[in-house]
């Protein structure tokens, strides 16, 4: 495998470094190259195949948003080709409005060619993990709130299967990288890879999910709370199965990821769960994370919680997703644009009040609207 090269020079900033990389490099490739100089990305998504350009266009967040923010916080400059063919060097000092709009702008300001961003010390390739089970949604949120001030990475899996003995109970996973002095001195290749592929599972639905959830919660309760994991198991749990999306078959699935404001978060999350419980559908996977300070614009991350629910694409399920979108809009929450295929323009404008400023900037960099996507047409961008 041939990796795109960095600039020859790495400039030191305190204890951190800056690197410049091609927008086409993937998470997996970039982590491998950085590991050889003892560094890593400060923020990673849960997938390994995302490109740097795609991550910046979505301004991705990770399990450490409450501490580190989104990836856009760490970008110092980027090269952007606008529709005229001109290449702009954008930063907080040069073309700052375009720079900010591009981070989270879903690719609508131009084509990101490369980016310069800060990276952080890798520290080690293993993580000390603390696994805690909860018996209610309230307890799950309390654990997230408590642990997000202590650990580097925190997320909660939630049991919301049909027939669950306690909908909202969960497994909270808290992890911290373990420092390895030998790695710090010499560097070592770290290249997380996907595991074996999963085939489609006929009839994948409520019964199988309920069995899985009961087993998963039970094992988490009885196995040791303190564990030692490979770092990739903490950061990329779904990648242990290659092509895990195929388990849903050809119809695929919806992932509804919402941001819930911190004020009355528990009540609002419970209301979302009540809406789902009143429907014939149940999510196959539910993840809840604490979020920190946001960047504004079209970036998703903001102080509060993010609730992610995967639904098998069954007949009528889209109507439920629309109802969930409407509820999130009414409580001043957001839907993650990188995972959206259902928002209406009216709902979107309630969620992202800075959208008019983004539209005006789009007129400047792309007056003939040469850059379009299904999302931009649907949301009036």
Residue with tokens 């990673």: 44
| Model-wide pTM > 0.85 | yes
Q: Residue 199: its pLDDT value, please?
A: 66
pLDDT tens, 43-68?
999 999 999 999 999 999 999 999 99
Q: Residue 3: its pLDDT value, please?
A: 40
248 φ, ψ (degrees, to nearest 5): -85, -5
Q: Where do the structural domains in the chain lie, given as residue ranges?
A: 11-121, 126-348
Give CA–CA dist 282/357, Å, rounded.
38
Tokens matching residue 199 = 């085939």
**126-348 fold:** Vanillyl-alcohol Oxidase; Chain A, domain 3 (3.40.462)
pLDDT surpasses 60 at 102: yes
Q: Residue 146: its pLDDT value, please?
A: 93
Q: Smallest Cα–Cα separation from 311: which of 327, 326, 299, 324?
A: 324
Residue with tokens 């027939």: 163
Comparing 17 with 232, the larger pLDDT belongs to: 232
Within the chain, strands assigned E span 11-13, 16-22, 39-40, 75-81, 87-91, 111-121, 126-134, 153-158, 170-177, 226-230, 253-261, 285-291, 304-312, 334-335
Domain spanning 11-121, CATH class:
alpha beta
pLDDT tens, 167-205?
889 999 999 999 887 666 556 788 887 776 666 666 566
- Residues with Cβ < 8 Å from 102, sequence gap 6 or more? 56, 57, 78, 80, 90, 109, 110, 112
pLDDT tens, 105-121?
999 999 999 999 999 98
Beta bridge partners of 360: none
Give CA–CA dist 151/14, Å, rounded.
23
Q: How far is CA 254 from CA 33, 48, 76, 194, 313, in A?
A: 33, 20, 34, 22, 6
- The predicted model gives 235-263 an average pLDDT of 86
What is the overall mean pLDDT for the chain? 89
- The predicted model gives 235-240 an average pLDDT of 88
Handedness of CA 326, 331, 332, 334 (dihedral sign): negative
Q: How far is CA 366 from CA 40, 81, 83, 282, in A?
A: 35, 11, 6, 42
Percent of the chain surpassing pLDDT 90? 70
- The reply to whether 11-121 and 126-348 are identical in fold is no
pLDDT surpasses 70 at 333: yes
Give CA–CA dist 58/75, Å, rounded.
13
Q: Could you tell me the pLDDT band of residue 336, with boundaries at 50, 70 and 90?
A: very high
Q: Smallest Cα–Cα separation from 118: which of 48, 13, 191?
A: 13
Q: Residue 6: its pLDDT value, please?
A: 46
Q: Could you tell me the pLDDT band of residue 8, with boundaries at 50, 70 and 90?
A: very low
Q: Residue 151: its pLDDT value, please?
A: 95
Q: Out of 13-27, 111-125, 335-349, 359-373, which region has the weakest mean confidence (pLDDT)?
A: 13-27
pLDDT tens, 264-280?
899 999 999 999 999 99
Percent of the chain surpassing pLDDT 70? 91
Q: How far is CA 208 from CA 164, 177, 247, in A?
A: 12, 34, 12
């Amino acid at each position: 495998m041939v990796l795109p090269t960095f600039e020859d020079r790495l400039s030191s900033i305190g204890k951190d470094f800056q690197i410049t990389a091609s927008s086409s490099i993937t998470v997996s490739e970039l982590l491998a190259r950085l590991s050889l100089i003892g560094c890593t990305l400060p923020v990673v998504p849960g997938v390994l195949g995302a490109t740097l350009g795609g991550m910046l266009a979505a301004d991705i967040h990770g399990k450490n948003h409450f501490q580190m923010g989104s990836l856009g916080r760490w970008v110092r400059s980027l090269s952007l080709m606008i529709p005229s063919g001109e290449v702009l060097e954008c930063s907080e000092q040069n073309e700052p409005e375009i720079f900010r709009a591009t981070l989270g702008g879903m690719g609508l300001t131009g084509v990101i060619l490369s980016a310069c961003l800060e990276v952080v010390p890798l520290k080690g390739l293993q993580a000390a993990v603390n696994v805690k089970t909860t018996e209610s949604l309230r307890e799950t949120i309390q654990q997230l709130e408590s642990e997000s001030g202590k650990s580097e990475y925190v997320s909660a899996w939630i049991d919301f299967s049909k027939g669950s003995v306690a909908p909202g109970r969960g497994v909270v996973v808290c992890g911290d990288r373990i420092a390895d002095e030998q790695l710090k001195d010499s560097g070592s290749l770290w290249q997380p890879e996907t595991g074996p592929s999963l085939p489609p599972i006929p009839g994948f639905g409520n019964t199988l999910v309920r069995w899985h959830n009961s087993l998963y919660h039970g094992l988490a309760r009885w196995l040791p709370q303190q564990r030692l994991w490979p770092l990739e198991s903490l950061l990329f749990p779904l990648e242990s199965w290659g092509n895990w999306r195929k388990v849903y078959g050809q119809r695929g699935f919806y992932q509804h990821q919402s941001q819930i404001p911190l004020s009355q978060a528990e009540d609002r999350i419970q209301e979302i769960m009540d809406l789902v419980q009143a429907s014939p559908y149940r999510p196959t996977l539910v993840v809840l994370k604490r979020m920190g300070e946001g960047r504004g614009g079209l970036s998703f991350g903001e102080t509060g919680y993010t609730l992610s629910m995967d639904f098998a694409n069954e007949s009528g399920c889209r109507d439920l997703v629309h109802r969930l979108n409407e509820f999130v809009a009414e409580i001043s929450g957001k839907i993650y644009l990188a995972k959206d295929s259902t928002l209406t323009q009216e709902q979107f404008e309630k969620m992202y009040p800075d959208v008019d400023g983004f539209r005006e900037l789009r007129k400047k960099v792309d007056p003939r609207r040469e850059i379009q996507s299904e999302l931009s047409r649907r949301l009036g961008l």
